[in-house]
Amino acid sequence: MELSVVVPTLNERDHLAATLDVLAAHAPDAEVVVVNGPSADGTTGMIRDRDDVDVLVEVSDRTLNVSRNAGIRAASGDVVAFLRHDLAIEEGWTTAIEAGLQNAAVVTGPIHETLPAGMTTTAPETRQIRGRDVTYFNGGNVAFRATVLDRLDGFDEYLETGGARDAAHRLASLGYDVAWESEMSVRTEYEADGGVDERDHRWKYRALTYRLVKNYGLRPTVLRRIVSHAGSDAIAAARDVVAGDATPTGWVGTGRDVVAGVATGWSDGLVARARDQSPTRNPHGCSKRADRAVARYDWR
């Protein structure tokens, strides 16, 4: 196995340095590709002073999926892994990747994050949608056979959030399985703040609706899933209002953002479905542009 590890980053120099230190210790033979952009904290200088990064790609776009696709283009391994810039791999990570790829074209594993109340760990997540078993994965700890990424045409750059979940739907459509390897584990090297979720509801529902409509079309199943998500969020927000943790005005504003996000995602999803009617369903993928990188440093 020739492993390339793509690490997208943005203004996280210190966390990235810790991640690269552990990566060098536990996966010294892996090709490391850092996609930086556009950081303003000295990340570029820090990387250029190291001898354990093989390729540095500078991009001007802040979208994570653009960085992922730029990393795919720079990677040369027959297996490409994606690692979040604030996560450290544990010993046995590369062995687990190799073992998982014996059974599936994609492999993922748990993420251990430290919170003030204790440790949280992600678990496997599978949903059945229109007869497909969709296995979700965290885009910060996943490895693909390079041939599968080629078939997917990378990640959908329209999405500012939810790119990994969209890829999971498309993997299921193409007939690829996602293996779960408990030994392919990563952890945060610092304590997360565990603060309030400040998720952008407009983009959350725009992304949710877009990927469902793009991948499944105008079907009752799609509408039910969107309404179910919106209903759950509305009930949770109403409870916050009753508890005094939110205002009625904020609740109404959130509802307005949800409606706007669904409307935009619905329209754009239909356009995307019409533009790419192949099983790949990726009209904004790797092959669609060649101008992501503004600079590239290759020390291979």
Model confidence at 196: pLDDT above 50: no
Tell which residue, 257, 255, 262, has the closest CA to residue 222: 262
How far is the CA of 249 from the CAs of 216, 230, 252, in angstroms?
35, 17, 5
- Report the alpha-carbon distance of residue 56 to residue 6 in Å, rounded: 10
**Residue 119: pLDDT band with limits 50, 70, 90:** confident
pLDDT at 199: 59
pLDDT band at 190, cuts 50/70/90? low
Of 164, 159, 155, which Cα lies nearest the Cα of 134? 164
Contact 34, 53 (CB under 8 A): yes
Measured CA to CA in angstroms, residue 128 lies from 1, 53, 105, 132 at distances of: 32, 40, 19, 5
Q: What does the pLDDT average to over 115-121?
A: 76
CATH class, domain 3-195+283-293, is alpha beta
Mean pLDDT to the nearest integer, 238-242: 77
Look up residue 130 and give its DSSP letter. T
Task: Please write the tens of the pLDDT for every residue from 25-49.
Answer: 999 999 999 999 899 999 999 999 9
55-96 confidence digits (pLDDT tens): 999 999 989 999 999 999 999 999 999 999 999 999 999 999
Q: Tell whether the model's pLDDT for residue 287 goes beyond 70.
A: yes
Rounded distance between C-alpha atoms, residue 149 and residue 167, angstroms: 10
- CATH 3.90.550.10 location in the chain: 3-195+283-293
Residue 248's pLDDT band, with cuts at 50, 70 and 90, is confident
Comparing 15-19, 137-141, 241-245, 281-285, the range with the smallest average pLDDT is 241-245
More confident residue, 238 or 142: 142
pLDDT at residue 244, rounded to an integer: 77
Answer yes or no: are the C-beta atoms of 150 and 59 closer than 8 Å.
no
- Judge contact between 73 and 289, C-beta under 8 A: no
Question: For 162-191, what is the mean pLDDT?
Answer: 92
Q: What is the pLDDT of residue 220?
A: 87
Residue 191 pLDDT > 50: no
**In the structure, what pLDDT confidence band is assigned to residue 231 with cuts at 50, 70 and 90?**
confident
With 60 as the cut, is the pLDDT of residue 198 above it?
no
Rounded alpha-carbon distances, angstroms, from residue 250 to 242, 254, 256: 12, 6, 10
Please compute the mean of the pLDDT values over residues 123-131 and round it to a whole number. 90
For the chain, give the percent of residues with pLDDT over 70: 95
pLDDT band at 237 (very low <50, low <70, confident <90, very high): confident
